[in-house]
Amino acid sequence: MKSLVELIEWKRDGNRHTEEEIERIVHAFTQGEMPDYQMSAWLMAAFLRGLDADETVWLTRAMRDSGTVVDLSGVGMPVADKHSTGGVGDKTTLVLGPLVASCGVAVAKMSGRGLGHTGGTLDKLESIPGFRVEMSVESFVEQVKRVGIAVIAQSPDICPADKKMYALRDVTGTVPSIPLIVGSIISKKAAGGASAIVLDVKTGSGAFMKTEDEARALARELQRVGHALGLKIQCVVSDMDQPLGRTVGNALEVCEAIRTLKGEGPEDLQELCLELGARMLRLAGAAASNAEGRAALERSLHEGRALETFVRWVEAQGGDPRIVEEPSLLPAAEFSTVLTADRDGFVGGFDAEGVGRAALALGAGRHRKEDAIDPGAGVVLAVKRGDRVVRGDALATAHASTLDRLEAGAERLRASISIADEPPAPRPLFHEV
């Protein structure tokens, strides 16, 4: 049997591991028998030499089994989950969760906190006064059964291997490796207990995968490995070349999600939620086709059932449901400034990551894990890609709690919106389904 050092050397030299070797690496690291420096070396070897199709499946399975695997079989209805590789203004879960849950498929989701430009789903939810995201696995399962939806912070008992590995990858330059990303995402989804999973892989200037080819390759691997672990899974590659919807920032995004649940949201956000939701219903067996699923979701939106489910969900997690009718109960930043077009033309495009960084400078995200988020800070866009503008038209409003942050964020925001003489070529919302 190879020692841990020999296993690192084996991968360093480009060899293929056995299933037992991969299980041993993951187990030894989770148990604290493999120190961080050895895992860092193995991760870099795996990053440079790659893991083949089988090794990726073995890694994912070993990571899933490093902790608790949630049992949702007692919920009494099909349970679905979704995951997005992340983007700017991505508040999809806030709309999609209650929308799908209102159509007879429970939604059980464990989510991460945002690091980088803007808050994650948990930060958005926590901008609702009273909303709690910390919950035991037992209470999580109970809420899914009772309310049909629960979204909570990733439990430390689920995939502890991923938690430790991701922390090392983040500081050793080993994040952008397809096998390691697939292992990280699919192990968490598989341990979360839902059997029907839709993954939204983003591509474009605001995404982790900047090019369509990279996003497609990741989507195919996610799907393949998900199937190998027995999950019903579908991946969609969607556009993140401009922020999704018109808001970036936690409470601002909650407000936009509520408007969308009232049928008054931005078209791109609504469309994405309907298309992803249709797939969740179909995969979970509640619709015979995507078209049937979409029709059910549209009815629920129209009849106000998705909004009612949102209210019950917020109440169940301790949040103040009055925000639905009184958005002024959500935190708001004291200062704001409107950015205007300096010439006539068309909105040529956004540097979506730049908009995210502007939101971060305004206070909506965190530089370090321990930083506090300003829930009211962020950006509201007055325009989308391709819109015609004349000099002096509003492009966006920046919101911040201090004038220094407002100035820093507004400058970044202005640099992230380009005005062109000609309208840009349209980009589809979906690149591959």
Give residues in contact with ligand URA (CB under 6 A). 166, 175, 180-181, 184-185
**Torsion sign, CA atoms 237, 154, 355, 306:** positive
Exactly one of 61, 83, 117, 246 is catalytic; which is it?
83
- Return the number of the residue (43 or 380) whose C-beta is nearest ligand URA: 43
- Return the number of the residue (167 or 420) whose C-beta is nearest ligand URA: 167
- Return the number of the residue (59 or 323) whose C-beta is nearest ligand URA: 59
| d(C-alpha 181, C-alpha 345), whole Å | 40
Exactly one of 61, 124, 163, 188 is catalytic; which is it?
188
Exactly one of 65, 81, 162, 374 is catalytic; which is it?
162
Exactly one of 177, 184, 187, 205 is catalytic; which is it?
184
CB of 160 to ligand URA, least distance (A): 14
Name the percent of the chain in helix, strand, coil, to the closest 5. Answer: 50, 15, 35
Q: Is 83 a catalytic residue?
A: yes
**How many beta carbons lie within 10 A of that of residue 93, not counting itself?**
26
- Return the number of the residue (93 or 260) whose C-beta is nearest ligand URA: 93
Take residue 56 and report the two structure tokens written for it: 């990726």
CB of 285 to ligand URA, least distance (A): 27
Q: Is 3 a catalytic residue?
A: no
CB of 155 to ligand URA, least distance (A): 15
SS3 189: helix
- Return the number of the residue (168 or 175) whose C-beta is nearest ligand URA: 175
SS3 79: strand
How far, CA to CA in Å, does 199 sit from each of 22, 91, 212, 256, 269? 25, 14, 15, 22, 16
CB of 74 to ligand URA, least distance (A): 27
Q: Is 342 a catalytic residue?
A: no
Q: Is 163 a catalytic residue?
A: no
| d(C-alpha 205, C-alpha 242), whole Å | 7
Angle between helices 250-261 and 305-316 (to 10 degrees): 140
CB of 64 to ligand URA, least distance (A): 13
158 DSSP 8-state letter: S
Burial of 136 (0-12, 13-18, 19+ CB in 10 A): exposed
- Return the number of the residue (147 or 180) whose C-beta is nearest ligand URA: 180
How far, CA to CA in Å, does 297 sit from each of 267, 272, 303, 368? 15, 12, 10, 38
Q: Is 184 a catalytic residue?
A: yes
CB of 184 to ligand URA, least distance (A): 3
Q: Return the active site residues.
A: 83, 162, 169, 184, 188
